[in-house]
Amino acid sequence: MKQNNVVVTGLGMVTAVGLDRDSTWQALKAGRGGVASIRSFPTEGYRTTFAAEVVGFDPDTFMDPKDARKADRFSQFAIKAAQEAVDHAALGELRDPYRAGVIIASGIGGMLTFEEQHARLLQRGPRGVSPMFIPMMIADMAAGLVSIRFGMRGPNFGTISACASSGHAISTACDQIRLGAADVMLAGGSEAAVCPMALAGFGNMKALSSRNDDPATASRPFDRERDGFVLGEGAGMLVLESEDHARARGAAILARIAGYGATADAFHMTQPDNDGNGGQHSMLAALKCAGIPPGAIGHINAHGTSTPFNDKIETLAIRKVFGAHADRLKVNSVKSMVGHLLGAAGAVEAAATILALKEGVIPPTINLRNPDPECDLDYCASGAVHAQVEYALSNSFGFGGHNVTICFQAVP
């Protein structure tokens, strides 16, 4: 059976450094971070008091206010990013709604709604809980609401694999197109977990940075003094199409998805395999799927969480895959600027990787001031790098040992 080539024709983003694609991209290129003390709730008594919050976001500017009140913040982010991606792709009226689908990831879903309604249960009893609690909270609802908004009646669901969630969403959406089940897919991830429960939970397991005296430099991937990730929020969305479908309608193609790979560490609940085998084989699988040798890759958008284990083990995995070529790679982590968006991280980072290929500009890894001897690659620490690259990888690794790598190809 002939497999269809898959291309990207539209991008949308909502992050702590920008409420849309262009403002986010300009901030990333400039090395401008969005980490600051939390504004949305009091943080006294918490181990960590800062995050990469989306500030100034108003769903009423793109949704009916009544509909906005029935959607959790993570769904609102998804709708905003999806609308931007659809507009960017100039998708227009769907020729066949049943051949257009939506797959949107979220690692946690409507946690803000869960917290709010649990408080109402304790204060008012069972009758105080909103009848909209369940549909607002469940993690698949972003995909459902986006499909309703655009009338997309094809494959429609969410993926949940912690911080690899939107990597799986994009890969699975590719499968729908490659195997002929769809012509168009909206794929990505959304997360809105900057809230008391998440801050306490991640903080108490000592996964978060506790650099409360200097939040702006707290996310410092690959740095010797890194002490944990910074919680972020936002969304990233991609419009994927079969190349034949995109060319038939005259769409501008941003990049091709050349291949992807997925593995499991089968090692530990939260810690990556010490030998880097999971990440190594995820990257090898993506290269095999793309049909290219390791030496064809010029850039890797790393998972790069700023945690002690992840960064050194990801570096080890890269060296295992690329050997001597690893020293020629341009590696970066945009989490240094937007924080860790959990289930949405892979989608935002995929969008950044595509823009890097398209513009020939690789955003920097900021706050990397004290190199770790165990993290010895070129992490673009001195600023954005101008480089024309044909192939790039984007890594997403998650609690539970989930690993996804997507290979993107530049389009002349």
Got the DSSP string for 205-258? TT-B---TT-GGG---TTBTT---B-BB-EEEEEEEEEHHHHHHTTPPP-EEEE
Strand order in the sheet with 330-332: 156-157, 100-105, 184-191, 234-242, 6-14, 255-264, 402-410, 391-398, 297-301, 330-332
Catalytic residue (choose from 174, 340, 375, 402) = 340
Catalytic annotation on 245? Answer: no
d(CA 187, CA 192): 17
Nearest residue to 290 via CA among 262, 314, 261, 263: 261
81, 13 contact by CB (below 8 A): yes
CA-to-CA dists, residue 153 to 69, 95, 98, 148, 157, angstroms: 24, 12, 5, 8, 11
Catalytic residue (choose from 88, 163, 281, 375) = 163
110, 72 contact by CB (below 8 A): yes
d(CA 47, CA 42): 12
Look up residue 243 and give its two tokens.
């190349």
Catalytic residue (choose from 88, 168, 303, 402) = 303
365, 310 contact by CB (below 8 A): no
d(CA 401, CA 405): 13
Q: How many CB atoms lie within 10 A of CB 242?
A: 22
Catalytic annotation on 340? Answer: yes
d(CA 8, CA 232): 25
Amino acid at 214: D
- Tell me the CB-side half-sphere exposure of residue 152, using CA atoms within 13 A: 28
Catalytic annotation on 88? Answer: no
d(CA 390, CA 210): 38
d(CA 345, CA 343): 6
- Tell me the CB-side half-sphere exposure of residue 307, using CA atoms within 13 A: 24
- Which residues are known catalytic residues? 163, 303, 340
